[in-house]
Amino acid sequence: MCGIVAYVGKQQASPILLKGLQRLEYRGYDSAGICLNQNESFVVHKTAGKVSDLQKLVDAGIHEGTIGIGHTRWATHGEPNDRNAHPHVSFHKRLVIVHNGIIENFSALKVRLQSKGVDFVSDTDTEVLVNFIEDIMLEENLPFDEAVRVALNEVHGAYAIVVMDTQEPRKLVAARKGSPLVLGVGIGEFFFASDASPIIEYTKKVVYLNDSEMVVCDDHHFIVKTIQNEVKTAKIQEIEMELEAIEKGGYDSFMLKEIFEQPRAITDSLRGRLDLHGGTIKMAGLEEYRAKFLNANRIIIIACGTSWHAGLVGEYLIEEFARIPVEVEYASEFRYRDPVINQNDVVIAISQSGETADTLAAIDLAKQRGATIFGICNVIGASIPRATHAGAYTHAGPEIGVASTKAFTAQVSLLTMISIWLGKEKGNLSQTETLSLMTELEQIPSKIEECLKVNALVEEISAKIKDSTNALYLGRGYLFPVALEGALKLKEISYIHAEGYPAAEMKHGPIALIDEAMPVIVVAPKGAQYDKLVSNIQEVKARKGNVIAIVTEGDTEVKALADYIIEIPDAPDPLLPLLTVVPLQLLSYHIAVMRGCNVDQPRNLAKSVTVE
Ligand code: AGP
């Protein structure tokens, strides 16, 4: 949550900061601000609302300066208003800070500072931090970078920060622990940002900071050290991301662009791994931990939200193909319930962002207890891939819409490959079965192209149900997680209450909700449980429910019962989640647009949940 950006160099800082904040707005968008360091004083512009509101404020005010910091906020401490927006200036006006994270011991520090006469103007933990740093600097007569370092040793919690001092007007000090921070290295200029997207326009050279590392820089030099004062050799990496990947490219929203990118995203996920000629799946991380995977007593999958739904599909896949017991856990529950874990367990942690606080904490716990951790992540260089023993990137490309779409199908594609590999290596799948599954998987991108052709039809259906207040999603087997994912997509971007259920569970309660006002979206393509789903649809129709069914091309039985059908190509049961989810993504998208919702930045949400 929250995005931070900073610049020092020869260029005007405010356009760089504002453009950077726009790129980071997916991380939080309830208030925004920038501060420029000018002639021994700070120029601060900040406001509740979006970066576009901030832009107006900056345009109307003083905005010259070649060093500055910026922030877009997802509120934790204090409501989203002008006062609580970052940057925060310290009491004696020496320092200014932007911060992403939570300072857990802020209350105790605040009391300490108040007893010394410091007044606070906001409700934030961040204002406490900047005053704590200033207090150390003034009391101990330290340069401000050293005061930052000393202060961070007493701080509990998570942070990515950038700090400026009026007395050292060409210096930026940044640090991270638990929240992401990237340094961009230009010629005679440096950038900081929560991810590389604000930086790539100016330089492809970046340093991903590790936990408890800080950077001190001016226009020409930077130094990386730990907060224990150990100087580190910075590993400068070349990033491959192109600017087009983070722009809308003619689409109305990132979400729609990302839905339509799925054939390409899955092709990229499969590339170099699905070796049809050799008849094998190649994944370095699996090979490296081959013995651990093959001898695992069980596999535990940990994730949150949509990634958790992908994990559920993974459970069905791994148990069917490899016959290894799988448990799927919400990371937030796992980390706090003293789970039984041992050295023969393999944990698969799934995360698009690679920064989700609960998933990171669950990884740490499982690691401490001796499990082998395999990560599935989309964002290159994020914290989760660095915290795991091995892993694989989904290669879906930057996902900016808050509602996860292409990351889900890329995660499921990876889990499909992992399960086929495990099945083959464990001797449960024959070479013929393996090849047949791999061949089917290779065809998924072109079948998704077919699924996307239903867009106009889905838009028409959306118009019919857009005013509903509730919706029920039903599926069985591999399609139960798809029902959950469809319901999550609808509620997060359209604010319609929606529930996903295993279709058979309907009779154990939710059937009481069904009447003519209730859209029931049934994921009912041809497959092992098709006949059972047909019976479930009959039960819904008997209660006058409004059925929208996802069916296999040419279906007649469900067509005769349902109010609306959406056809998708045929595929084996284990691969159907990859196809059936696509019309559900489109359905939630169109409904949300028709209801006037901001699909890329739904209310109260942020793309990566870096606080628990
Ligand atoms: C998905 O649409 C959500 N916005 C959310 O549930 C998300 O999947 C969850 O927060 C997990 O994020 P991660 O994959 O980045 O860890």
Pocket probe mutation, ligand 1, options 609, 610, 611, 612, max atoms within 8 Å of Cβ = 609
Q: Which helix (H) or strand (E) holds 366?
A: helix 357-368
Give Cα 37 to chain centroid, integer Å: 32
> Which residue among 50, 292, 447, 607 is the active-site one?
607
- Residue 612 clears pLDDT 80, i.e. is over it: no
pLDDT > 90 in the chain, percent: 91
pLDDT for 518: 93
Q: How many whole angstroms separate alpha carbon 467 and alpha carbon 533?
A: 26
Q: Evaluate: CB of 372 within 6 angstroms of ligand 1.
A: no
Q: Is the CB of 376 under 6 A from ligand 1?
A: no
Would residue 2 show up in a list of annotated catalytic residues for this protein? yes
Query: How far does residue 188's CA lie from ligand 1's centre (Å)?
Result: 37
Q: Which of 74, 259, 352 to mutate to test the pocket of ligand 1 (most atoms within 8 A of CB)?
A: 352
Contact indicator for 96, 149 with CB cutoff of 8 Å: no
d(CA 588, CA 584): 6
Tell me: the pLDDT tens digits for 561-581? 999 999 999 999 999 999 999
Cα–Cα distances (Å) from 407 to 9, 256, 379, in that order, read 36, 13, 10
What is the pLDDT, as a whole number, of residue 39? 79
For ligand 1, mutation pick of 306, 334, 379 (most atoms within 8 Å of CB):
306
Helix (H) / strand (E) element for 48: namely strand 41-48
Name the residue at shortest CA distance from atom 16 of ligand 1. Answer: 351
Helices 576-594/455-465 angle, 10° precision: 50
* 246 pLDDT higher than 90: no
Q: Distance from the CA of 540 to the center of ligand 1, in angstroms? A: 31
0.85 exceeded by the pTM? yes
| Token pair belonging to 493 | 């971007």
Given a cut of 80, whether residue 286 has pLDDT beyond it is yes
State in Å: Cα 29 to ligand 1 middle. 17
HSE of 134 in the Cβ direction (CA atoms, 13 Å)? Answer: 26
Digit-coded pLDDT (tens) for 204-243: 999 999 999 999 999 999 999 999 999 999 999 998 877 7
Q: pLDDT (tens digit, 9 = 90+) per residue, 151-205? A: 999 999 989 999 999 999 999 999 999 889 999 999 999 999 999 999 999 999 9
Written as one letter, the residue type at 423 is G
What is the distance between the alpha carbons of residues 36 and 294, in angstroms, rounded to a whole number? 56
Q: Which helix (H) or strand (E) holds 173?
A: strand 172-177
User: Which pLDDT value is given to residue 114?
Assistant: 97
Asked if 30 and 95 count as a contact pair (C-beta separation under 8 A), the reply is no
